[in-house]
Amino acid sequence: MDLVVEGRAWYKGKLQHVCIGIENGRIARVKKVLKGERQLDFNDRIILPGAIDVHTHMREPGMTRKEDFSTGSVAAAFGGVTCFFDMPNTKPQSIHRDDVMEKKELASKKSWVDFGLFGGVSDASNPQRIADQVVGFKIFMSSTTGSVLLSEDKDIRRAMDLIKPTKKVVSVHAEDEHLLIKREEASIRDHAEARPRRAEASAIERLAQFSQQNKVNICHVTSLEGLEALSKGAFTSEATPHHMLLDIASCGRKGFCKVNPPLRPKSDKEALLAAFASGKISLLASDHAPHTVEEKEQEFDSAPSGVPGVETSFPLMMALARKERIGLGVLIKAACETPAQLFGLNKGAIEEGKDADLMVLDPRIVTSIVPRNLHSKCGWTPFEGQEAIFPQAVFLRGQLLVEEGGLVGERNGRDVVAKRRVAA
């Protein structure tokens, strides 16, 4: 055994004191007692599978003033995220094969944690040409930061039919473009009115017809209407920490909390957190969408939509788990197990044969979020002052990557989908 990591691990659905034996980057044995060449004893601290964030915007290529694969993946690592999926709304968009391959090259060189790339879809592209290189496809039903729109049913149908034989997940930004109100906005409240809850519910209802033939995943659900609409189809769904912890009243500073879909009133926030706590939401996803302070400080109407969150996502939810607002099992399911199962990764659980992606936390150490302690290039967070439990150690495939607030390992992030091949 190369390495044995010992502590109170999430194993077979509960916390138990075990030894995790690691060989060649994988979990080889889990037993009460194990001896390895190296032994790390975390005593009564808890060991969880690394989180998988299925929705991030790492901004490379084309917008590296906001973030890049290096800074974004370091932020991920410090937040216990050992694998992230990157969205296609970069410059260029990840729609055509050459552009996907180029992004993959960049991420492979720069990422500190494992990653998957989402492919974009336009009304004229053929998603089958990139299916072997992407972890899933992303469809934007409404206009948002840098998106390629598929707002009409006929275009969505064309895309879904082409994607069907690839069996890939289709993650959809579900807001109905036809129900958005285009007018000047001066506040978070205006933004929420311009992108109403009805638009979310309507988009989800329109997607129900595809949910039998495709694996349709509804991104960032925000509202009670949206939650109700989910029952109309066979969907998986995501919730973000910002929609579960922030609302239109909690965020005054200019356009900093402007995000799509928007923050909602307190009642929706509470309904969403309750739905998450009851296990009705499949996935915890940050929708990490960093923009610079300068961009966010513009007049509200001109400020871009999106908030950072890859580093704070799991730690914020872990603090809620400590207070028993959500169950630890529900959190691990949504952040680790279900993402791995849905996207077919050999990760997401402490089990023999899985990648040894682990985080170690001390639930007694609750900190308050401070922007300067975070690692995203954007340098700010909408969660300043909120309670969080950050991991003290993070392992990627058995290699220690984060230890006591510092980066200690080597840059070794890998694509979870396919080995790089010569472009067809």
Tell me whether residue 287 is one of the annotated catalytic residues.
yes
Residue 81: which H helix or E strand, with range?
Answer: strand 81-86
The item of ligand NCD, Zn ion, none sharing an interface with residue 72, based on CB under 5 to 8 Å by kind, is none
Phi, psi of 207, rounded to the nearest 5 degrees: -80, -15
175 is an interface residue for Zn ion by CB under 5 A: no
Q: Is 168 helix (H, G, I), strand (E, B) or coil?
A: coil
Can you give the C-alpha Rg of the chain in angstroms? 20
Q: Is 36 helix (H, G, I), strand (E, B) or coil?
A: coil
Angle, vertex CA 358, rays to CA 357 and CA 360, nearest 5: 165
Partnered with residue 116 across adjacent β-strands are 85
Query: Between 197 and 242, whose beta carbon lies closer to Zn ion?
Result: 242
Query: Between 125 and 171, whose beta carbon lies closer to Zn ion?
Result: 171
Give 3-state DSSP helix, strand, coil % of the chain, rounded to 5. Answer: 30, 25, 45
Token readout for 393 is 């150690």
Among 173, 333, 375, 377, binds ligand NCD (CB under 6 A): 173
**CB under 6 A: which stretch of 21-29, 139-147, 153-161, 275-283 binds ligand NCD?**
139-147
**CB under 6 A: which stretch of 141-149, 337-345, 400-408, 414-422 binds ligand NCD?**
141-149
Answer for the pair 385, 312: CB distance below 8 angstroms, yes or no. Answer: no
User: Tokens 């990591």 sit at which residue?
Assistant: 5
Q: Is 182 helix (H, G, I), strand (E, B) or coil?
A: coil
Active-site position among 287, 355, 357, 415:
287
The item of ligand NCD, Zn ion, none sharing an interface with residue 321, based on CB under 5 to 8 Å by kind, is none
The item of ligand NCD, Zn ion, none sharing an interface with residue 16, based on CB under 5 to 8 Å by kind, is none
Answer for the pair 48, 18: CB distance below 8 angstroms, yes or no. Answer: no
Kindly identify the residues of this chain, within the stretch 290-349, that bind ligand NCD according to CB under 6 A.
Answer: 305-306
User: Tokens 């598929």 sit at which residue?
Assistant: 150
Instruction: Give the separation between CA 223 and CA 236, rounded to whole angstroms.
Output: 16
Between the alpha carbon of residue 307 and those of residues 6, 208, 292, 296, the distances in Å are 36, 28, 10, 10
Q: Which residue is nearest to Zn ion (CB)?
A: 287
Among 238, 287, 337, 415, binds Zn ion (CB under 5 A): 287
Residue 71: which H helix or E strand, with range?
Answer: helix 69-78
239 is an interface residue for ligand NCD by CB under 6 A: no
- CB 55, min distance to Zn ion, A: 6
**CB under 5 A: which stretch of 200-208, 283-291, 294-302, 356-364 binds Zn ion?**
283-291
- CB 407, min distance to Zn ion, A: 26
Site string for ligand NCD, 259-278 (x = CB under 6 A): xx------------------
Query: Between 22 and 259, whose beta carbon lies closer to ligand NCD?
Result: 259
Among 60, 287, 311, 415, binds ligand NCD (CB under 6 A): 287
- CB 295, min distance to ligand NCD, A: 10
Crossing angle (nearest 10°) for helices 97-110 and 69-78: 60
> Which residues here bind Zn ion, judged by CB under 5 A?
287
Binding residues for ligand NCD, rule: CB under 6 A, are 57, 89, 144-146, 173, 259-260, 287, 289, 305-306
Residues labelled as active-site residues: 287
